[in-house]
Amino acid sequence: VAEGWRADRRCCADVALATARGLQLLLLKPRRLMNLNGLSVASAAEIYNLRPEDIYLVHDDLDKALGKVAIKLGGSARGHNGVRSCISALLSNEMPRVRVGIGRP
């Protein structure tokens, strides 16, 4: 996938296509500040015709031990400004989240 990233100016992000278990995935790396990532995610959702529940947010989590991963379905941003931005821009909190632990300093 690393070689397949390309800039998509329409959503101010880098995008790549991947396949996993027969499903086609659109990977998105916003080029905005974290507090504004939701604008890129919402633009991509509109461009690629995605519903909030089709979007998996992958983000860091201070409350999880380093390297621990958990999947959460919907809910609040729990203080994460990038997630808050996505919830606000998509007008929904129904996105599944993949929380990757980074631990507290």
Q: Cα–Cα distance between 90 and 42 in angstroms, integer?
A: 6
Residue-wise pLDDT for 32-49, tens only, equals 999 999 999 999 999 999
For the chain, first and last CA: distance in Å? 31
* Structure token digits, residue 82: 């990038």
Q: What's the pLDDT at 41?
A: 98
Closest CA to 71 of 97, 103, 102, 101: 97
CATH fold, domain 2-101, is Rossmann fold (3.40.50)
**Residue labelled with tokens 């380093």:** 66
Q: What is the pLDDT of residues 47-90, one digit of tens each?
A: 999 999 999 999 999 999 999 999 999 999 999 999 999 999 99
What is the DSSP-derived secondary structure letter of residue 53? G
> pTM of the entire structure?
0.90
Q: Which residues contact 72 (CB under 8 A, 6 or more apart)?
A: 96, 97, 99
